[in-house]
């Protein structure tokens, strides 16, 4: 784990996270600055910086399976899943994460 990775620190319990769901592979926690009534981040416990850096496709399967299961646990039927890749796309934490956004109607296109 990179020493300076915020989300690795949340996985390790060094920084508190408001947990929504957890398995041996996945952690889901509520975003600290929610953009919707439900805004949860789903991360893989294996560090990878982003979509473009991920070489093991199983990580994508684990991550999206975690999204599906977390959304179900939260009682969401309609929601948006966002993975920002790169700073220009809005990525600010370089530990790959899927945003689950729901609980209100969502507009398209995103900004």
Of 22 and 31, which CB lies nearer to ligand AMP in the complex structure? 31
Of 46 and 91, which CB lies nearer to ligand AMP in the complex structure? 91
Taking the complex as a whole, the smallest distance from the CB of residue 30 to ligand AMP amounts, in Å, to 7
**Binder of ligand AMP out of 47, 93, 103, 106 (CB under 6 A):** 93
Decide: is 33 part of the binding site for ligand AMP (CB under 6 A): yes
Length of the chain in terms of residues written? 111
**Nearest-10 Cα torsion for 104, 83, 74, 65:** 140
Vertex 70 angle, CA 82 and 21, to 5°: 115
Taking the complex as a whole, the smallest distance from the CB of residue 86 to ligand AMP amounts, in Å, to 10
Taking the complex as a whole, the smallest distance from the CB of residue 37 to ligand AMP amounts, in Å, to 15
- Please return the burial class of 57, using the count of CB atoms within 10 Å of its CB with bins 0-12, 13-18 and 19+: exposed
**Binder of ligand AMP out of 47, 49, 65, 84 (CB under 6 A):** 84
- CA–CA dist 43, 99 (Å, integer): 9
Q: What is the DSSP pairing of strand 79-82 with strand 97-102?
A: antiparallel
- Binding positions for ligand AMP, rule: CB under 6 A: 6, 15, 17, 29, 31-33, 41, 84, 90-93
């Amino acid at each position: 784990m990179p020493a300076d990775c915020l989300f690795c620190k949340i996985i390790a319990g060094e920084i508190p996270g408001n947990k929504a769901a957890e398995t041996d592979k996945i952690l889901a926690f509520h975003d600290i600055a929610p953009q919707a009534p439900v805004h949860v981040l789903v991360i893989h416990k294996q560090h990878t910086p982003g979509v473009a850096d991920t070489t093991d496709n199983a990580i994508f399967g684990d991550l999206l399976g975690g999204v599906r299961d977390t959304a179900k646990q939260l009682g969401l039927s309609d929601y948006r899943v966002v993975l920002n890749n790169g700073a220009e796309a809005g990525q600010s934490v370089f530990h790959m994460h899927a945003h689950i956004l729901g609980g209100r109607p969502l507009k398209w296109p995103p900004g």
